[in-house]
Chain A
Amino acid sequence: MKANREWIIKGIALAVWAGVLVSSGIAFAQHRQYKEAVVLGAGVVDVRTLGDYFEPLKGTTNDCNIYILDSGVPGGTLLIMGAVHAEEPATNLAAQLIVENASATTGRIIVAIHENRSGSTVTRPGDAYPQFFTIETDWGEKKFRMGDRWANPLDSWPDPETYVHYPSGQLLAYMDVRNMNRTWPGRPNGSLAERTSYAFMRLIEEEGVDLTIDLHEAELEYPIIGTIVAHQGALDVAAMVSMMLTAQEFTIGMEISPLALHGLSHREIGDFSDSPCILLEAPEPFLDRVRGVTDEALLLTGQDEFVMKAGEHGLLYWPIDENGWPIDIRVARHVRTIEKITELWTRFHPDEAMVVAGFPTYNEMVELGVGHFFHDPSTVSQDRVAFE
């Protein structure tokens, strides 16, 4: 009798367990396999993949799309990289907005929307991130994957006890072997993130990239926020952009890339190629450790009473009020800063001119919302739609 009761309880537990396993497994698989549609704007003349520049990456999770916006007029080449950290959604939204709307009138723009695609197929364990978020557009809701700072352990596992950066030998935290902003310039036989960095270095070399822009977002508790971090090769442009935008449009700081901090894009890309790198940081309260409920609303509105309270106690490096930091403003800051960088780069380097068109204005993005600038993939020819 007792044995029967034991097996009845075990059977019920096993059935519940199987139900949870199947439902969560389906949710995880759907998130990992979900594809975001990208409508190719008139400026896009070619879509390659990262594996075209480093064959071993071909067909892997990180064989991301590389969008080429070529004016046909000789000039400079700009590389824009979004979502190196896939939990910073203003970065891939800004990159996608450029692919769908912008064009080059002198020189070329090369865009990677999901620089570390593996990181966009997983959310941070234990942090209750939403798996998806949606943006309101003129034709309905557009759904995007929410991701993590690090590449998916399903693609890169196990981590070492300590991550030794190549080639500096600097010791870093173990999980940063999956953090693409700690693996530059990469190596061909390293971890997935190291191989992906290496592939981007080959792209920079092969395409003759003159300037690289790496898009990020940061928590308000972190001192590197609302700022431009520049390699010494682009200090003049970065300083001028910071001064002009702060004086005329919105506050944005400027910092010099530390010489001895290795693995970061703004240090290594410039040191190991002919392209200086500029990193942009926008404020994302969703990432703050003192935040409240971690949901899609916080991700999109950037409004959080706990983060505000931290601000009242002087614990933040960036201001926040009841308006928060909405996704529209964060994307607008990135897009407008990129446009300003091209303008000043062209002024400082007329032989490497990058003249762009089709960028929405800062006010348009804030007032109409970024969704207004995403196009309906069902209304265009399917050969003008790519998937991320």
Chain B
Amino acid sequence: MTIMIVYYAITAFFGAVLFWNFVKSKDVQKAILYLVILMPFVLRVFRLK
């Protein structure tokens, strides 16, 4: 259970980093790529997939 919680925290951290990269990126193609990568992280944190 502890490991599971740590993994969710790691997932949330990387999700936040990806979203921050989306905001800061000047290259829209990279920004869209960040969003695509972010999708499974968000679905996992919200326990949907």
Contacts and interface: CB of A to CB of B under 8 A. Distances in A.
Contacts of A14: 22, 35
Interface string B8-49: 000000000000001000101001100110110011101111
Interface residues of B, number: 19
A28 B22 CA distance: 25
A32 B44 CA distance: 14
Contacts of B26: 6
A182 B28 CA distance: 47
B8 to A, nearest CB: 9
Interface in A1-56: 6, 9-10, 13-14, 17, 20-21, 24-25, 28-29, 32
B43 A6 contact: no
Nearest to B40: A125
Nearest to B29: A9
A28 to B, nearest CB: 5
B43 A28 contact: yes
Contacts of B47: 154
A29 B4 contact: no
Interface residues of A, number: 17
Contact of B48 (A20, A28, A157): A28
B28 A13 contact: yes
A25 B3 contact: no
Given A28-B43, A157-B4, A10 B28 contact: yes
A157 B7 contact: yes
Nearest to A29: B48
Contacts of A10: 22, 28, 31
A13 B32 contact: yes
B13 to A, nearest CB: 15
A154 B46 CA distance: 10
A254 B38 CA distance: 49
Given A17-B35, A21-B43, A157-B7, A9 B48 contact: no
B48 to A, nearest CB: 5
Contacts of B46: 25
Contact of A20 (B4, B31, B39): B39
A25 B48 CA distance: 6
Contacts of B48: 24-25, 28-29, 32
Given A10-B22, A21-B42, A158 B3 contact: yes
A214 B26 CA distance: 57
A373 to B, nearest CB: 34
Given A10-B31, A28-B49, A21 B39 contact: yes
Nearest to A156: B4
A21 B3 CA distance: 26
A21 B38 CA distance: 10
Nearest to A16: B35
Given A13-B35, A20-B39, A158 B49 contact: no
Contact of B31 (A13, A21, A154, A157): A13
Interface of A: 6, 9-10, 13-14, 17, 20-21, 24-25, 28-29, 32, 122, 154, 157-158
30 contacts: A6-B28, A9-B28, A10-B22, A10-B28, A10-B31, A13-B28, A13-B31, A13-B32, A13-B35, A14-B22, A14-B35, A17-B35, A17-B38, A20-B39, A21-B39, A21-B42, A21-B43, A24-B39, A24-B43, A24-B48, A24-B49, A25-B48, A25-B49, A122-B49, A154-B44, A154-B49, A157-B4, A157-B7, A158-B4, A158-B7
Given A10-B31, A20-B39, 17 more contacts: A6-B26, A9-B31, A10-B28, A13-B28, A14-B22, A21-B43, A24-B39, A24-B43, A25-B48, A28-B48, A32-B48, A122-B49, A154-B44, A154-B49, A157-B4, A158-B3, A158-B7
7 closest A-B pairs by CB: A17-B35, A28-B48, A25-B48, A9-B28, A28-B49, A13-B32, A158-B7
